[in-house]
Amino acid sequence: MNISEYKGVFVFAEQRDRTVQKVAYELIGKAKELAKDLNTTVTAVLLGYDMIEEAKKLCYAGADKVIYADNELLDEYMTEPYTFTLHKIITEKKPEIVLYGASAIGRDVAPRVSARLKTGLTADCTGLAITEDDTNKGQLNLAMTRPAFGGNLMATIIIGKHRPQMATVRPGVMQKAKYSENNPVNIEQFMIDIPADKKNVEILDITKIIQQRMNIEDAKVLVSGGRGMHGPENYQMLEELAGLLGGTISASRAAVDAGWVPKDRQVGQTGKTVRPNLYIACGISGAIQHLAGMEESDFIIAINKDETAPIFEIADVGIVGDLFKIVPLLIEELKKSKQMA
């Protein structure tokens, strides 16, 4: 393989319901940083149908170019048509890096494309950086960092002899680039004829599940409970506090494993990565697996009776004490301030 033939950073721009997902914009932000170090360009790859306006938004978000495969079979995600199309685009264009969101779609399609390209894929990355090859001076590789051994170690993985280098990144980990409608629009229509043997699945109907609670990945304020909550009945006061602050509740893995809170509320390595304006951790000790999912929050308040809890190391404000006394006081003060307003 002639590695020098591979140029550019590609981002798979995942879409659902003809709307580009947030993680794609986050990946473009990181891709721009990587492309600057490599002196190359960022290309977003969009698969869908009747989505030219969404393609323009990817340029406004910082992509130098968008490759848009417009086909009715790509309107909704299906494994074979998407895998076939992505493989064809990557084989033809030869990017040196391809980034995917670690979503249900990204986790399905990325390893399939990787296998067909006979290259490596690093999953659930928390860090991406360009580094010089130890054995081949002048060659630049993508250093992909991810938790390993149950989150107790961080492993950095490099694909030195194969291209493209591919990674999945969980939503909420990377920062979006600046969005501007003054950015130039450069869209390449990629014509794709999907063979009959790739059309072996037909979508008959789609039933949407309407979430009763705010998605924790979208929340500006999260009040999170851990093992120190002692039971599901005590989450009611966290719900009340979150409601007064205009947010929602979340939880550590310990609380989810105990059955106190649904899985979709879990923050951490095996849950969701969040970046709210305010994160209030109640009775959470701060295991590395949990910190990996919330440490980029703008402001962190930790309430724990154990003054040695690791959560205090990253908290902007730490309160050592009984959360069952402190949280009700916070609720009372917030109610008073709202009445005065």
Rounded Cα–Cα distance for residues 68 and 59 (Å): 12
| DSSP string for residues in 212-234 | SS--TTT-SEEEEE-GGG-SGGG
What's domain 221-340's architecture?
Answer: 3-Layer(aba) Sandwich (3.40)
Flag the least confident range among 57-71, 156-170, 200-214.
200-214
- Of residues 17, 62, 18, 2, the one with CA closest to residue 36: 62
Distances (CA, A) of 36 to 14, 32, 42, 130, 236: 23, 6, 9, 10, 48
214 pLDDT exceeds 90? no
CB atoms under 10 Å from CB of 78, counted, come to 19
Segment 63-82 mean pLDDT: 96
- Residue intervals of the chain classified under CATH 3.40.50.1220 are 221-340
> 263-298: per-residue pLDDT in tens?
999 999 888 999 999 999 999 999 988 998 999 999
Supply the DSSP string of 52-68, one letter for each residue.
HHHHHHHHHTT-SEEEE
Q: Residue 170: how many CA atoms within 13 Å on its side-chain side?
A: 23
pLDDT surpasses 70 at 211: no
Q: Is 204's pLDDT higher than 90?
A: no
Q: Could you tell me the pLDDT band of residue 41, with boundaries at 50, 70 and 90? A: very high
Q: Which residue has the higher pLDDT, 336 or 320?
A: 320
User: Is the per-residue pLDDT at 87 higher than 80?
Assistant: yes
The upper half-sphere exposure of residue 142, i.e. CA atoms within 13 Å in the direction of its Cβ, equals 34
Distance CA 340, CA 4 (A): 66
CB crowding 143-165: b at 16 or more within 10 Å, else e: bbbbbeeebeeeeebebeeebbb
CA atoms within 13 A on the CB side of 3: 15
Of all residues in the chain, the percent with pLDDT exceeding 90 is 79
126-177 pLDDT, tens digit per residue, is 899 999 988 888 899 999 998 887 667 789 999 989 999 999 998 888 989 8
Q: Tell me what the mean pLDDT of segment 63-67 comes to.
A: 98
What one-character-per-residue DSSP string does 105-158 give? Answer: HHHHHHHHHHHHHT--EEEEESEEEEEE-SSSTT-EEEEEEEEETTTTEEEEE-
Task: Output the pLDDT for position 135.
Answer: 82
171 upstream amide cis, omega within 30 of 0:
no
Q: Considering the chain, what is the average pLDDT of its residues?
A: 93
> What integer is the mean pLDDT of 100-105?
94
Asked whether residue 106 carries a pLDDT value surpassing 90, the answer given is yes
Could you give the residue range(s) of every CATH 3.40.50.620 domain in the chain? 3-198
Whether residue 213 is predicted with pLDDT greater than 80 in this model: the reply is no
Model pLDDT for residues 246-262, shown as the tens digit of each residue: 999 999 999 999 999 99
- The CATH H-level superfamily of 3-198 is HUPs (3.40.50.620)
Please report which confidence band the pLDDT of residue 202 belongs to, taking 50, 70 and 90 as the band edges: confident
